[in-house]
Amino acid sequence: MEFVWIPPGKFMMGCTPGEKCAERTPLREHTIGEGFWIGRTEVTVGQFRRFVRETGYRTDAEKAGDRRTWRNPGFRQGADHPVVCMSAEDALAYARWAGVDLPIEAEWEYAARAGATTRYSWGERFEPANAWYRENSGGSTRPVAQRRPNAWGLYDVSGNAWEWCRWDALGGTACQPGKPVPRGGSWVSCHPVSLRLSMPTPSMGCFPDVLAWDDDRGFRCIRKLTRVTR
């Protein structure tokens, strides 16, 4: 994995007043007191394959006998595509093996914004050329790092694959306290709203299977010397 250094700082996290999501993630100032390293891209199929080869790990989808797994999510993938059909536990298992972690929601949103205060990392208006989503993905994930990066050099923070994050007690998604949550939208997101940096959880819903795998759920890792994956 290639990591990018994110400096400490303050930012406004959440949805602006008047937006539907403001009921669950109201706008508030959040302080990132310590810098961290975060993956330049989502974890890829090739990277996850190495983990499986070395450990014999079986994902939750495989153990459940699902016909769609990271090996065959229902569409063709190359080694440079983001790995999908990941449950939150699959993502955490990979992170433990790699000696890294998943970001908390505040860390993810801070890094994804890269100093921006707008709906998207590039501005207020949605620009299809900056993200893979339903209208331009061709019905599958796409190789990572093909769209424009944000100001801090991170790719695909909007679109391609939802990214699992740890819940943040200070600014996390209110409907599922303590549970991981996906952020960032994906190749199958049908509306630009889902790709906004403040938007938590697919379709704004609180689903019983929110921790389960799906063909558009992947993850990105973070590296901090002061935090150990459990």
**Could you tell me if residue 230 is inside a domain?**
no
**Could you tell me if residue 229 is inside a domain?**
no
- Where residue 224 falls among pLDDT bands split at 50, 70, 90? confident
User: Per-residue pLDDT tens for 22-42?
Assistant: 666 778 898 999 999 999 999
**Could you tell me if residue 168 is inside a domain?**
yes
Distance CA 25, CA 116 (A): 18
Domain span including residue 58: 3-223
- Where residue 163 falls among pLDDT bands split at 50, 70, 90? very high
Per-residue pLDDT at 15:
75
How many folded domains does the chain comprise?
Answer: 1
**Could you tell me if residue 228 is inside a domain?**
no
CATH number at 58 reads: 3.90.1580.10
